[in-house]
Amino acid sequence: MSNAPVVPQVELVGVTKRYGDGRAVVDRLDLTVLKGEFVSLVGPSGCGKSTVLKLIAGLTAATTGDIRVDGMTPKNARETISFIFQDAALLPWRTVRQNAGLGLELEGTSRDRRREKSMALLELVSLADVADAYPRELSGGMKMRVSIARALATSPRLLLMDEPFAALDEISRDHLNEELLRLRAEQNWTAVFVTHSVAEAVFLSTRIVVLAPSTGHIRAMLPVDLPAERTSGLRATPEFDSVVARVSRALREASA
Protein backbone atom coordinates (compact mmCIF):
# COMPACT_ATOMS: atom_id res chain seq x y z
CA MET A 1 0.00 0.00 0.00
CA SER A 2 2.87 2.41 0.85
CA ASN A 3 4.27 2.50 -2.68
CA ALA A 4 0.90 2.92 -4.41
CA PRO A 5 0.93 5.63 -7.10
CA VAL A 6 -0.11 9.05 -5.85
CA VAL A 7 -3.36 9.41 -7.79
CA PRO A 8 -6.35 11.23 -6.31
CA GLN A 9 -9.51 9.16 -6.01
CA VAL A 10 -11.56 11.97 -4.46
CA GLU A 11 -10.90 15.70 -4.67
CA LEU A 12 -12.89 18.42 -2.95
CA VAL A 13 -11.85 22.00 -3.71
CA GLY A 14 -13.40 24.90 -1.81
CA VAL A 15 -16.63 22.97 -1.24
CA THR A 16 -19.40 24.79 0.61
CA LYS A 17 -22.82 23.37 1.38
CA ARG A 18 -25.53 25.70 2.64
CA TYR A 19 -29.03 24.75 3.68
CA GLY A 20 -32.05 26.71 2.54
CA ASP A 21 -31.72 29.08 5.51
CA GLY A 22 -28.18 30.03 4.48
CA ARG A 23 -26.42 28.19 7.30
CA ALA A 24 -23.23 26.52 6.03
CA VAL A 25 -22.89 22.92 7.18
CA VAL A 26 -19.69 22.47 5.16
CA ASP A 27 -17.60 25.60 4.63
CA ARG A 28 -14.79 25.89 2.02
CA LEU A 29 -13.59 22.34 2.50
CA ASP A 30 -10.46 21.15 0.69
CA LEU A 31 -9.81 17.43 0.90
CA THR A 32 -7.97 14.99 -1.30
CA VAL A 33 -8.18 11.23 -0.85
CA LEU A 34 -5.58 9.24 -2.77
CA LYS A 35 -6.16 5.87 -4.40
CA GLY A 36 -5.68 3.11 -1.85
CA GLU A 37 -6.14 5.33 1.18
CA PHE A 38 -8.55 4.60 4.04
CA VAL A 39 -9.56 8.01 5.35
CA SER A 40 -11.76 8.43 8.40
CA LEU A 41 -13.68 11.61 9.13
CA VAL A 42 -14.17 12.15 12.86
CA GLY A 43 -15.78 15.06 14.64
CA PRO A 44 -18.55 15.97 17.03
CA SER A 45 -22.19 15.44 16.05
CA GLY A 46 -23.42 17.98 13.55
CA CYS A 47 -19.97 18.78 12.14
CA GLY A 48 -21.07 17.87 8.63
CA LYS A 49 -19.26 14.50 8.34
CA SER A 50 -22.24 12.75 6.81
CA THR A 51 -22.89 15.69 4.50
CA VAL A 52 -19.32 15.37 3.17
CA LEU A 53 -20.05 11.73 2.25
CA LYS A 54 -23.34 12.66 0.57
CA LEU A 55 -21.53 15.37 -1.40
CA ILE A 56 -18.92 12.86 -2.62
CA ALA A 57 -21.73 10.47 -3.59
CA GLY A 58 -23.64 13.20 -5.40
CA LEU A 59 -26.69 12.58 -3.21
CA THR A 60 -26.67 16.27 -2.36
CA ALA A 61 -25.26 19.09 -4.50
CA ALA A 62 -22.54 21.46 -3.32
CA THR A 63 -23.57 25.12 -3.13
CA THR A 64 -20.15 26.17 -4.41
CA GLY A 65 -16.85 24.42 -5.07
CA ASP A 66 -15.72 21.48 -7.14
CA ILE A 67 -15.92 17.75 -6.42
CA ARG A 68 -14.20 15.08 -8.53
CA VAL A 69 -14.33 11.32 -8.09
CA ASP A 70 -11.97 9.38 -10.35
CA GLY A 71 -11.77 12.62 -12.34
CA MET A 72 -15.55 12.66 -12.92
CA THR A 73 -18.47 14.49 -11.36
CA PRO A 74 -19.94 12.50 -8.45
CA LYS A 75 -23.07 11.53 -10.40
CA ASN A 76 -21.06 10.25 -13.35
CA ALA A 77 -18.76 8.35 -11.01
CA ARG A 78 -21.55 6.48 -9.24
CA GLU A 79 -20.79 3.22 -11.02
CA THR A 80 -17.44 3.22 -9.25
CA ILE A 81 -18.86 4.05 -5.80
CA SER A 82 -20.63 1.95 -3.17
CA PHE A 83 -22.32 3.55 -0.18
CA ILE A 84 -22.81 1.76 3.15
CA PHE A 85 -25.49 3.28 5.38
CA GLN A 86 -25.66 3.31 9.16
CA ASP A 87 -28.80 1.16 9.40
CA ALA A 88 -27.73 -1.47 6.81
CA ALA A 89 -30.62 -0.31 4.55
CA LEU A 90 -31.77 -3.79 3.52
CA LEU A 91 -35.05 -4.42 1.72
CA PRO A 92 -37.09 -6.44 4.25
CA TRP A 93 -39.11 -8.26 1.55
CA ARG A 94 -35.99 -9.71 -0.06
CA THR A 95 -33.87 -12.60 1.11
CA VAL A 96 -30.24 -12.10 2.10
CA ARG A 97 -29.07 -13.28 -1.33
CA GLN A 98 -31.54 -11.03 -3.18
CA ASN A 99 -30.39 -8.10 -1.04
CA ALA A 100 -26.74 -8.82 -1.73
CA GLY A 101 -27.50 -8.91 -5.47
CA LEU A 102 -29.57 -5.70 -5.53
CA GLY A 103 -26.83 -3.48 -6.97
CA LEU A 104 -26.03 -5.99 -9.71
CA GLU A 105 -29.73 -6.35 -10.50
CA LEU A 106 -30.26 -2.59 -10.82
CA GLU A 107 -27.19 -2.39 -13.04
CA GLY A 108 -28.70 -5.02 -15.33
CA THR A 109 -26.40 -7.98 -14.59
CA SER A 110 -27.80 -11.33 -15.76
CA ARG A 111 -29.55 -13.55 -13.23
CA ASP A 112 -26.93 -16.32 -13.30
CA ARG A 113 -24.00 -13.96 -12.96
CA ARG A 114 -25.83 -12.14 -10.18
CA ARG A 115 -26.51 -15.31 -8.27
CA GLU A 116 -22.92 -16.47 -8.61
CA LYS A 117 -21.45 -13.12 -7.59
CA SER A 118 -23.75 -12.50 -4.62
CA MET A 119 -23.15 -16.02 -3.30
CA ALA A 120 -19.39 -15.51 -3.59
CA LEU A 121 -19.65 -12.27 -1.62
CA LEU A 122 -21.88 -13.85 1.03
CA GLU A 123 -19.27 -16.59 1.30
CA LEU A 124 -16.68 -13.88 1.87
CA VAL A 125 -18.63 -12.33 4.76
CA SER A 126 -19.50 -15.86 6.09
CA LEU A 127 -23.25 -15.57 5.47
CA ALA A 128 -23.67 -18.22 2.78
CA ASP A 129 -25.67 -20.45 5.12
CA VAL A 130 -28.35 -17.78 5.69
CA ALA A 131 -28.62 -16.78 2.02
CA ASP A 132 -32.34 -17.63 1.93
CA ALA A 133 -33.24 -15.98 5.24
CA TYR A 134 -35.06 -12.65 5.45
CA PRO A 135 -33.47 -9.61 7.16
CA ARG A 136 -35.81 -9.74 10.18
CA GLU A 137 -34.21 -13.06 11.14
CA LEU A 138 -30.69 -11.56 11.32
CA SER A 139 -28.81 -9.80 14.10
CA GLY A 140 -27.59 -6.23 13.63
CA GLY A 141 -24.05 -7.41 12.85
CA MET A 142 -25.26 -9.92 10.25
CA LYS A 143 -27.42 -7.27 8.56
CA MET A 144 -24.39 -5.05 8.30
CA ARG A 145 -22.40 -7.87 6.71
CA VAL A 146 -25.14 -8.31 4.10
CA SER A 147 -24.88 -4.59 3.46
CA ILE A 148 -21.10 -4.90 3.01
CA ALA A 149 -21.57 -7.87 0.64
CA ARG A 150 -24.05 -5.84 -1.43
CA ALA A 151 -21.64 -2.89 -1.55
CA LEU A 152 -18.70 -5.02 -2.68
CA ALA A 153 -20.70 -7.07 -5.20
CA THR A 154 -20.57 -4.26 -7.75
CA SER A 155 -16.74 -4.15 -7.51
CA PRO A 156 -16.45 -0.51 -6.38
CA ARG A 157 -13.26 1.51 -6.54
CA LEU A 158 -14.50 3.80 -3.76
CA LEU A 159 -16.39 2.80 -0.63
CA LEU A 160 -18.26 5.48 1.32
CA MET A 161 -19.31 4.43 4.80
CA ASP A 162 -21.56 6.52 7.04
CA GLU A 163 -21.10 5.30 10.63
CA PRO A 164 -21.81 1.73 9.51
CA PHE A 165 -21.10 0.11 12.86
CA ALA A 166 -22.45 2.77 15.23
CA ALA A 167 -25.51 0.77 16.24
CA LEU A 168 -23.60 -2.45 17.01
CA ASP A 169 -22.19 -3.75 20.26
CA GLU A 170 -18.44 -3.45 20.73
CA ILE A 171 -17.63 -7.10 20.06
CA SER A 172 -19.47 -7.19 16.73
CA ARG A 173 -18.01 -3.83 15.84
CA ASP A 174 -14.39 -4.97 16.46
CA HIS A 175 -15.08 -8.14 14.55
CA LEU A 176 -16.47 -6.28 11.55
CA ASN A 177 -13.56 -3.83 11.62
CA GLU A 178 -11.15 -6.74 11.24
CA GLU A 179 -13.30 -8.25 8.49
CA LEU A 180 -13.36 -4.94 6.64
CA LEU A 181 -9.55 -4.72 6.67
CA ARG A 182 -9.27 -8.30 5.45
CA LEU A 183 -11.64 -7.54 2.54
CA ARG A 184 -9.74 -4.37 1.73
CA ALA A 185 -6.45 -6.26 1.56
CA GLU A 186 -8.03 -8.62 -0.96
CA GLN A 187 -9.88 -6.09 -3.10
CA ASN A 188 -7.97 -2.87 -2.81
CA TRP A 189 -10.64 -0.19 -2.82
CA THR A 190 -10.32 3.33 -1.48
CA ALA A 191 -12.45 4.22 1.53
CA VAL A 192 -13.92 7.30 3.16
CA PHE A 193 -15.31 6.36 6.54
CA VAL A 194 -17.35 8.43 8.97
CA THR A 195 -17.34 7.48 12.64
CA HIS A 196 -17.76 8.73 16.20
CA SER A 197 -15.29 6.22 17.54
CA VAL A 198 -11.65 7.27 17.68
CA ALA A 199 -10.42 3.72 18.34
CA GLU A 200 -12.31 2.43 15.30
CA ALA A 201 -10.91 5.22 13.12
CA VAL A 202 -7.35 4.49 14.26
CA PHE A 203 -7.69 0.75 13.74
CA LEU A 204 -9.05 1.10 10.18
CA SER A 205 -7.45 4.18 8.70
CA THR A 206 -4.32 5.22 6.93
CA ARG A 207 -5.28 8.84 7.66
CA ILE A 208 -7.72 10.58 9.99
CA VAL A 209 -9.36 13.92 9.32
CA VAL A 210 -10.69 15.78 12.37
CA LEU A 211 -13.52 18.17 11.56
CA ALA A 212 -14.47 21.23 13.61
CA PRO A 213 -18.00 21.47 15.01
CA SER A 214 -20.75 22.99 12.85
CA THR A 215 -18.53 24.35 10.06
CA GLY A 216 -17.05 21.34 8.33
CA HIS A 217 -13.58 22.88 8.60
CA ILE A 218 -10.64 20.54 8.83
CA ARG A 219 -9.02 21.01 12.23
CA ALA A 220 -6.37 18.31 11.96
CA MET A 221 -5.02 15.82 9.45
CA LEU A 222 -3.35 12.87 11.16
CA PRO A 223 -1.56 10.08 9.32
CA VAL A 224 -1.90 6.77 11.12
CA ASP A 225 1.61 5.27 11.03
CA LEU A 226 0.71 1.78 12.10
CA PRO A 227 1.64 -1.30 10.05
CA ALA A 228 -0.56 -1.95 7.01
CA GLU A 229 -1.13 -5.50 8.23
CA ARG A 230 -3.45 -5.13 11.22
CA THR A 231 -4.97 -7.78 13.44
CA SER A 232 -7.04 -7.65 16.62
CA GLY A 233 -3.78 -7.80 18.66
CA LEU A 234 -2.91 -4.31 17.44
CA ARG A 235 -5.49 -2.78 19.78
CA ALA A 236 -3.46 -3.92 22.80
CA THR A 237 -0.19 -2.27 21.70
CA PRO A 238 1.23 1.00 23.11
CA GLU A 239 1.68 2.32 19.53
CA PHE A 240 -2.07 1.97 18.98
CA ASP A 241 -2.81 3.70 22.28
CA SER A 242 -0.54 6.59 21.48
CA VAL A 243 -2.24 7.23 18.13
CA VAL A 244 -5.65 7.05 19.82
CA ALA A 245 -4.44 9.56 22.43
CA ARG A 246 -3.16 11.89 19.70
CA VAL A 247 -6.45 11.78 17.76
CA SER A 248 -8.51 12.19 20.93
CA ARG A 249 -6.50 15.28 21.86
CA ALA A 250 -7.02 16.76 18.39
CA LEU A 251 -10.73 16.03 18.63
CA ARG A 252 -10.95 17.72 22.05
CA GLU A 253 -9.11 20.78 20.75
CA ALA A 254 -11.37 20.87 17.72
CA SER A 255 -14.50 20.79 19.83
CA ALA A 256 -13.26 23.43 22.27
Partner 1 sequence: MRQRLITMANALAVFAALLAAWQLVIWIFQVPPFMLPSVVAVARAVVTHFSSLAAAFAITAAEAAGGLVASIFFGVIIALFFAQSRWVRRMLYPYTLLLQTVPIVAIAPLILMWVGAGPEAVALIAFIISLAPIIANTTQGLISVEENLVHLFLMYNASRGQLLFKLRLPNAVPYLLVGVRIASGIAVIGAITGELYAGSSRVGKGGLGYSILYASTQLQTDYLFALVLAATVLGFGFFFVVKVLEWYFLHRWHESTRTPEME
Which residue type, as a one-letter code, is found at position 225? D
- Does 197 bind partner 1 (CB under 8 A)? Our answer is no
Pick the piece of the chain touching partner 1 (CB under 8 A) from 15-23, 42-50, 102-110, 188-196: 102-110
> Of 57, 146, 244, 250, which lies in the binding site for partner 1, with binding defined by CB under 8 A?
57
Nearer to partner 1, 78 or 235 (CB): 78
> Of 18, 28, 35, 78, which lies in the binding site for partner 1, with binding defined by CB under 8 A?
78
Q: Strand 81-84 vs strand 158-162: parallel, antiparallel, or unpaired? A: parallel
- Does 89 bind partner 1 (CB under 8 A)? Our answer is yes
Cβ neighbors of 10 (< 8 A, separation 6 or more) are 31, 32, 33, 56, 67, 68, 69, 158, 190, 192
Residues 163-192 that bind partner 1 (CB under 8 A): none
- Does 154 bind partner 1 (CB under 8 A)? Our answer is yes
d(CA 123, CA 110): 20
> Of 30, 66, 107, 123, which lies in the binding site for partner 1, with binding defined by CB under 8 A?
107
Using DSSP's 3-state secondary structure scheme, residue 170 falls into helix
d(CA 206, CA 101): 30
Nearer to partner 1, 99 or 195 (CB): 99
> Of 1, 23, 64, 79, which lies in the binding site for partner 1, with binding defined by CB under 8 A?
79
Nearer to partner 1, 101 or 254 (CB): 101
Nearer to partner 1, 191 or 208 (CB): 191
Nearer to partner 1, 12 or 56 (CB): 56
Using DSSP's 3-state secondary structure scheme, residue 216 falls into coil
E-state strands within the chain: 8-18, 24-34, 38-42, 64-69, 81-84, 158-162, 190-195, 207-211, 218-223
- Does 91 bind partner 1 (CB under 8 A)? Our answer is yes
d(CA 73, CA 229): 33
Binding-site residue total for partner 1 (CB under 8 A)?
A: 26
Give the end-to-end CA distance of the chain in Å, rounded to a whole number. 35
Q: Which residues bind partner 1 (CB under 8 A)?
A: 54, 57, 59, 78-79, 81-83, 85-87, 89, 91-94, 102-103, 105-107, 134-137, 154
